[in-house]
Structure 1
Amino acid sequence: KNFFRRRSTSSIGGGASADGEYPTRKLVIVGDGTCGKTSLLFAFTRDEFYEAYVPTIFETSIVDMEIRPGKVIALSLWDTAGQEAYARLRPLSYTDTHVILICFAMDSRDSFNNVRDTWYPEVRHYCPRAALLLVGCKNDLASSAADCVTRDEVEKLADNIGATSHFLCSAKTRENVTEVFETAADVAYEAGRKKSKISSRLGACFGRRSRMKKTEKA
């Protein structure tokens, strides 16, 4: 699979890409502050890793990805702030989302527990139909953590929240970074197709009802 990086400040939720060339799918990434969300995005879109932590408010970028031979989508990536102070602003990013990455840090059990207690309830409230991917970040630190999250625990939580897939990754070593976004792009593309089919069926249904009413009046 091939992907083509293209940074953009456009905030696109669906439909066509910024230049209208490719269909757009929207990805939102959530999780506790400092869990590794932004580093994961930087590793993928810029092939860079920063040791220093810089809190994120909201940033977006677009990456054109070939999900299968001859089929390219514009994946709109929305970074969010995990701090409680931004809880009221964060829902603004959820509109028209196709796939959500729920992230936690493998060396932080608190961030892992907050997937179940905070992030899953929030995204299901605002995006009941969006596909979910569970992502364990900072896997390079797991072996040195006193109480690291285990692979079995990640698999169990992924099953409990109905995640389409789950990954252990590291922005620093690039472990599974590309795989996370390749899978997310595939999932987002299919989610968009299903949404379009449902909209078409509803439109056809309403059209038939409208014609029936006109016939009855006649």
Structure 2
Amino acid sequence: ISFGWSSVKIDMSAAKRDPRPIIPFGLSAFAASLFALGLALGTTIAVGMLFIIQMKVILTNKTSIESWIEEKAKDRIQYYQTGETFIFPYDMGSKWKNFKQVFTWSGIPEGDGLDWPVRDGCHQYSLTIEQLKQKADKRVRSVRYRAVEDYSGVCCPVTKGIKTFFTTPCTEEPRIALSKGDLILATRGLKHWMYGEKIHDSAADGGIRERGWFPRKCVEKCQYDSETDQPVDGEKKNR
């Protein structure tokens, strides 16, 4: 090959003998490739599951919290045999109609952020009214307990037993500290934990509501409370 006054000779005999380049692939490179493959597969599966969940929400116009409210509404109606029928107001009755509310030609979903299209026979406050009914029902079916042990309110109490320590509720809901003699209205519970509201003197505490989880072994049921002498909602559920 000539470049003006200079010339360069290139030996191509080695390329003719072995045209394929040699790429070293040792144990470390193999381990790194497997690690990268695992990350790629994990990300693909996670994003795929998230896509399925989001599409389910879009096709039903119903978030996971709203699905939970609807399930409790059906349980309430069945428990009291009221004969009413709960219709979720934001489900238009067709997956295609629900889909078109989110994916529009303009790129802007229907609704203004405050008022949304609702199903026939419902209004903007249908879901709110049902939530108020559920809260009232929860108060009626709550059970009164009295604290027999002090509890500091820590997330994983070591002094309350191994089972209590390892079965702490995996939730962002708070824990409430208890002192011996405190009264609590329990609304739901697990095998070793309960959730409820501490009963305060409204005049002395300014009407502050203190709700959260506490160990079941720290309380005992008030036997004299005949009006709410029934099992706690979810008491038989185990972790």
TM-score calculated relative to the size of structure 1: 0.23
TM-score normalized by the length of structure 2: 0.21
Larger-Rg structure = 2
Q: Which structure's relative contact order is higher, taking Cα pairs within 8 Å and 6+ residues apart?
A: 1
Q: Is the strand fraction higher in 1 or 2?
A: 1
